[in-house]
């Protein structure tokens, strides 16, 4: 039990420290860069807008649907990208020919800025469709997750692999019994990194394709000089992303501690 609670406490402390650093940096940028207070809103301004002003309840009510849509789009990209990364990593481990044929294409796609290929993706999948959100979000998630999972699969114990082979197990059995369980730390690391990536992909897809959610409204907020809404929406999605990142880390700590991989999370 101690091995579980100790990393949980460390995760909570790290989250609080990160929030404090972000708030301090935000306040410093707004206070010392000379940006007009009409445009730049600090943490206190956003707090008043959401919780203190007479119309704070209406302000929150206007932003929650946007947050819900962005989280839905982020979940779609996260799941699509993680599943694709896991499937490709397993396929690469089973067949070097598949890796040799697919990896160069993946690296080529990764080298092209997503903003540059997003119009092509939208043209193929359709503007405003869930498919465009899934593809754009999964591309952001896919490549870091794929690299992390491949690294984890490659670190399997040679003795354990030999043991499965001695008992008649093939390569698939080795993956199922040795490689994948041993790659759990790398899989969770990929999930943690992919959370902010999925949110970024969702915001980009909303901005370029759907026009919904926080990503779609940011440009409208700017054009309409609704800077309180703009800063509040950015602050909310940043805070939620940090919370989701730490939730994944807490799940990782609990799972790995229960599996006896304590040294991985301490």
In this predicted structure, what is the pLDDT of residue 266? Answer: 42
Residues 83 and 81: their CA atoms lie apart, in Å, by: 6
Instruction: Tell me whether residue 38 is in a domain.
Output: no
Residues 144 and 82: their CA atoms lie apart, in Å, by: 10
Question: How far from the centroid of its chain's Cα atoms is residue 6's Cα?
Answer: 25
Helix (H/G/I), strand (E/B), else coil: 147: helix
Residues 129 and 205: their CA atoms lie apart, in Å, by: 10
pLDDT tens, position by position, for the chain (266 residues)?
555 566 667 777 888 888 899 999 999 999 888 888 899 999 999 999 999 999 999 999 999 999 999 999 999 999 999 999 999 999 998 888 888 888 887 777 778 888 888 888 999 999 889 999 999 999 999 989 999 999 999 888 888 888 888 888 888 888 888 888 888 999 999 999 999 999 999 999 999 999 999 999 998 999 899 999 999 999 999 999 999 998 898 888 888 877 776 544 44
Instruction: Tell me whether residue 192 is in a domain.
Output: yes
The total of other beta-carbon atoms located within 10 Å of residue 204's CB is: 21
Instruction: Tell me whether residue 22 is in a domain.
Output: no
Q: Is 262 exposed, middle or buried (0-12, 13-18, 19+ CB in 10 A)?
A: middle
| Token pair in block for residue 249 | 């880390």
Instruction: Tell me whether residue 204 is in a domain.
Output: yes
Instruction: Tell me whether residue 14 is in a domain.
Output: no
Instruction: Tell me whether residue 13 is in a domain.
Output: no
Residues 133-149 pLDDT 10s: 999 999 999 989 999 99
Instruction: Tell me whether residue 61 is in a domain.
Output: yes
Instruction: Tell me whether residue 26 is in a domain.
Output: no
In this predicted structure, what is the pLDDT of residue 148? Answer: 92
Residues 115 and 119: their CA atoms lie apart, in Å, by: 8
Residue 118 belongs to a domain with what CATH number?
Answer: 1.10.3720.10
For residue 83, the surrounding DSSP H or E stretch is helix 56-94
Question: What is the number of structural domains in the chain?
Answer: 1
What are the distances in angstroms from CA 64 to CA 58, 67, 229?
A: 10, 5, 11
- Look at the block and give the residue holding tokens 């959100």: 133
In this predicted structure, what is the pLDDT of residue 265? Answer: 40
Query: What does the angle CA 141 – CA 81 – CA 173 come to, to the nearest 5 degrees?
Result: 120
Which domain does 227 fall in, by range? 52-259
């Amino acid at each position: 039990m101690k091995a579980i609670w100790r990393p949980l406490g460390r995760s909570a402390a790290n989250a609080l420290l990160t929030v404090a650093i972000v708030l301090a940096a935000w306040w410093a940028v707004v206070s010392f860069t000379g940006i007009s207070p009409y445009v730049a809103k600090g943490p206190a301004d956003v707090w008043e807008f959401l919780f203190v002003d007479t119309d704070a309840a209406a302000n929150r009510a206007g932003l929650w649907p946007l947050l819900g849509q962005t989280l839905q789009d982020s979940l779609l990209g996260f799941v699509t990208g993680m599943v694709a990364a896991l499937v490709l990593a397993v396929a690469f481990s089973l067949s070097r020919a598949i890796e040799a044929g697919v990896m160069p294409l993946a690296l080529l796609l990764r080298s092209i800025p997503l903003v540059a290929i997003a119009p092509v993706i939208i043209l193929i999948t359709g503007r405003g469709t869930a498919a465009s959100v899934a593809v754009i979000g999964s591309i952001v998630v896919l490549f870091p997750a794929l690299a992390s999972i491949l690294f984890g699969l490659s670190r399997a114990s040679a003795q354990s692999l030999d043991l499965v082979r001695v008992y008649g197990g093939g390569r698939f059995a080795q993956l199922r019994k040795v490689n994948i369980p041993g790659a759990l730390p790398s899989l969770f690391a990929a999930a943690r990194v992919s959370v902010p990536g999925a949110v970024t992909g969702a915001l980009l897809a909303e901005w370029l394709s759907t026009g919904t959610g926080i990503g779609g409204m940011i440009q409208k907020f700017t054009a309409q000089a609704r800077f309180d809404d703009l800063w509040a929406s950015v602050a909310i999605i940043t805070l939620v992303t940090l919370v989701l990142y730490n939730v994944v880390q807490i799940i990782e700590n609990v799972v790995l501690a229960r599996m006896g991989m304590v040294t991985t999370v301490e």
